[in-house]
């Protein structure tokens, strides 16, 4: 009864907050109960509670925000899409992106630390070596938290590629089977590195890395361009162009007459003789298609008869033009890490960056998504290869893809490698060594920082205080600019902030005092699409029509941001 009276003594906002808190608790309990029921003897088990990650725990009492670094903005063509780079821990960046880009990313490519024990992986600000008894558990904690956040960013037809080597591939696959569902595994790709590393007397040298690839339910795997080696097969030529041939008799499994009796029929050879499909040991076989299909090929001059051992055999032509191929799980045509090192050396000279990935590798991953306007995310961006790969592809095929790169600044990797690389490939640069000028690929970039020093400290995520809600609203401009993909700030004062481009205006009204709101609404351009983020203590029910502006879209601030943080860190 006491709880009953306390509830009805609350105001409406308090009731709504309490209901939301209870729903979150119910959701967590349901998930825990489901996990308990589904727990099995086969699966991945590690010490995930004993070794908690400080960054993740801190987010229960801090609200991450992003700060724009205006001086690092790159604008070469406003007609081209705007790309984003975020400097900071990728857990913080992914938390922010869960507000700005949930269900919005087409392709994720990441090259996380491989946990080799050779100072390539830090956990709670300490390098993990081979002797650490919780080495794998710490790595799994680290990866699980980030992959959980990344999953919610993918569209329903999105796909994620994760580079890894044999140190953690077994553990990573089991982890991803749980996070992305093992039924959504597209494959484990073997990638030839071009060099053999890690050779000693007790182990095989390593000549390959791996890519785990998982998709969302509606993903459609695209085709790839033919390699130069593939094109050599198309050595024949007629009036339609270069072609190769395929035997009309079915080969391999299911090639016997009994498998498809209706596809056993006679054909007339060039000398007038009758030919039936016969297997290599004399058994009755079958053709690949019916007579109607064959006659269609014949009319198009796509049948070629070849005499072998005094026997005529029909073949079907298939042409090189517009020919694509299905992807296999063996990628051995990419020059590997050596080429990647040369690419960086051309840009920077002797600047050292260990184990970069070649742009061709990432371009191949991205190309398996058929959307030429896709959004690509790399939250282990390192030297920025993914950004260059996206810009390269756009230059090659006229696409409008965009990228989001997230990297920390350990060893100044963000400020001295990743950002300068993107700047150079956008604007152009002189190649190291011979001084040849490499033309810029063009594009635009906005730079943000996820800086712990500017995060908003709170007592608890369960109930964010009113002063902290106001503080978050004043500092949310950059998050909203990213969410709305509009970055030109044209006005800011104590009441509002306005961003605009050629077609839209986005405004944030900071305070519950609405005495200046009408001035803001009157200030907005009547010719442009208009969105106003209106401060509210809870959920906003107002519309533009309520203020006499039916063409203005009203959105809430700051509660939707808080709701996301409660969901992922509560």
Domain locations along the chain: 2-38, 65-223+326-449, 228-324, 459-569
* Structure token digits, residue 533: 């983020």
Calpha distance 236→301 (Å, rounded): 14
Kindly indicate the confidence band of residue 105, based on its pLDDT and cuts at 50, 70 and 90. very high
Kindly indicate the confidence band of residue 273, based on its pLDDT and cuts at 50, 70 and 90. very high
Kindly indicate the confidence band of residue 514, based on its pLDDT and cuts at 50, 70 and 90. confident
Long-range contacts of 510-517 (CB under 8 A, 24+ apart): 510/470, 510/473, 510/474, 510/535, 511/470, 511/473, 511/535, 512/536, 512/537, 517/547
Packing angle between helix 559-569 and helix 90-100, nearest 10 degrees?
Answer: 130
303-308 and 122-123 strand pairing: unpaired
The percent of residues in the chain predicted with pLDDT above 90, rounded, is 67
* pLDDT at residue number 61: 92
110-164: pLDDT as tens digits:
999 999 888 889 998 888 888 888 899 999 999 999 999 999 999 999 999 999 9
Average pLDDT, the chain: 90
* pLDDT at residue number 1: 47
> 3-class secondary structure for 69-99?
CHHHCEECCCCCCEEEEEECCHHHHHHHHHH
**What is the average per-residue pLDDT within 81-100?**
97
Calpha distance 419→405 (Å, rounded): 10
Packing angle between helix 135-151 and helix 90-100, nearest 10 degrees?
Answer: 20
For domain 459-569, is the CATH number 3.30.70? no
Calpha distance 94→101 (Å, rounded): 9
pLDDT over threshold 60, residue 524: yes
pLDDT over threshold 90, residue 15: no
- Provide the β-strand partners of residue 456: 63
For domain 65-223+326-449, is the CATH number 3.40.50.150? yes
65-223+326-449 and 459-569: same fold? no
7-21, 180-194, 196-210, 386-400: the lowest-pLDDT one: 7-21
Cα–Cα separations (whole angstroms), residue 96 to 24, 64, 322: 20, 7, 41
* pLDDT at residue number 382: 93
Contact (CB, 8 A) for 357 and 279: no
Range picked from 36-40, 53-57, 91-95 for highest mean pLDDT: 91-95
H or E element in which residue 533 lies: strand 529-535
287-334: pLDDT as tens digits:
999 999 999 999 999 999 999 889 999 999 999 998 988 889 999 888
pLDDT over threshold 60, residue 5: no
* Structure token digits, residue 92: 């913080």
Calpha distance 331→329 (Å, rounded): 6
pLDDT over threshold 90, residue 408: yes
Kindly indicate the confidence band of residue 540, based on its pLDDT and cuts at 50, 70 and 90. confident
pLDDT over threshold 60, residue 398: yes
Question: Which ranges constitute the DSSP H helices of 332-408?
Answer: 337-348, 359-367, 385-397
pLDDT over threshold 90, residue 335: no
Calpha distance 55→149 (Å, rounded): 14
Contact (CB, 8 A) for 83 and 402: yes
* pLDDT at residue number 198: 66
* Structure token digits, residue 356: 């970069």
* pLDDT at residue number 370: 84
* pLDDT at residue number 194: 74
* pLDDT at residue number 558: 95
465-483: pLDDT as tens digits:
999 999 999 999 999 999 9
The percent of residues in the chain predicted with pLDDT above 70, rounded, is 95
């Amino acid at each position: 009864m006491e709880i009953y009276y306390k509830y009805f003594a609350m105001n409406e906002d308090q009731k709504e907050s309490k209901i939301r808190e209870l729903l979150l608790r119910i959701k967590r309990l349901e998930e825990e109960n489901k996990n308990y029921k589904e727990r099995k003897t086969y699966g991945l088990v590690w010490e995930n509670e004993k070794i908690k990650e400080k960054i993740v725990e801190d987010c229960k009492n801090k609200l991450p925000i992003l700060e724009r670094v205006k001086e690092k903005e790159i604008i070469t063509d406003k007609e081209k899409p705007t790309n984003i780079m975020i400097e900071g821990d990728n857990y913080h960046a992914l938390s922010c992106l869960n507000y700005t880009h949930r269900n919005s990313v087409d392709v994720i490519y990441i090259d996380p630390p491989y946990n080799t024990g050779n100072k390539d992986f830090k956990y709670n600000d300490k390098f993990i070596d081979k002797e650490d008894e919780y080495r794998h558990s710490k790595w799994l904690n680290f990866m699980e938290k980030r992959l959980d956040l990344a999953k919610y960013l993918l569209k329903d037809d999105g796909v994620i590629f994760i580079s890894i080597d044999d140190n953690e591939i077994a553990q990573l696959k089991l982890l991803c089977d749980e996070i992305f569902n093992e039924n959504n595994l597209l494959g484990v790709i073997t990638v030839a590195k071009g060099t053999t590393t890690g050779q000693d007397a007790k182990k095989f040298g390593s000549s390959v890395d791996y890519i785990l690839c998982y998709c969302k339910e509606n993903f459609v795997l695209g085709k790839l361009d033919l390699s130069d080696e593939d094109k050599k097969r198309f050595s024949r030529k007629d009036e339609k162009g270069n072609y190769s041939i395929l035997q009309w008799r079915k080969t391999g499994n299911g090639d016997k007459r009994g498998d498809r009796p209706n596809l056993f029929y006679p054909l007339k050879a060039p000398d007038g003789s009758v030919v039936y499909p016969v297997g290599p040991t004399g058994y009755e076989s079958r053709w690949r298609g019916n007579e109607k299909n064959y006659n269609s090929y014949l009319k198009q001059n796509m049948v070629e008869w070849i005499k072998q051992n005094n026997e005529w055999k029909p073949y079907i032509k298939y042409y090189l033009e517009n020919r694509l191929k299905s992807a296999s799980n063996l990628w051995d045509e990419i020059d590997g890490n050596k080429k990647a090192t040369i690419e960086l050396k051309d840009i920077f000279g002797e600047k050292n960056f260990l184990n970069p990935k070649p742009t061709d590798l990432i371009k191949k991953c991205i190309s398996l998504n058929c959307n030429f306007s896709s959004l690509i995310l790399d939250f282990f961006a390192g030297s920025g290869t993914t950004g260059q790969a996206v810009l390269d592809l756009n230059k090659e095929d006229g696409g409008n893809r965009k990228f989001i790169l997230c990297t920390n600044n350990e060893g100044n990797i963000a400020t001295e490698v990743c950002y300068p690389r993107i700047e150079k490939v956008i604007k152009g640069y002189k190649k190291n060594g011979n001084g040849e000028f490499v033309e810029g690929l063009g594009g635009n970039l906005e730079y943000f920082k996820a800086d712990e020093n500017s995060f908003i400290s709170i007592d608890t995520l369960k109930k964010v205080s009113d002063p902290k809600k106001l503080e978050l609203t004043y500092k949310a401009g950059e998050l909203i600019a990213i969410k709305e993909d509009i970055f030109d700030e044209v006005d800011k004062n104590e009441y509002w902030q306005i961003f605009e481009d050629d077609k839209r205006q986005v405004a944030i009204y900071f305070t519950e005092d609405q005495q200046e709101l009408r001035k803001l609404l009157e200030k907005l351009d009547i010719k442009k699409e208009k969105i106003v983020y209106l401060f509210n203590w809870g959920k906003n029910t107002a519309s533009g029509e309520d203020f006499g502006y039916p063409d203005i879209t009203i959105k809430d601030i700051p509660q939707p941001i808080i709701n996301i943080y409660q969901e992922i860190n509560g």
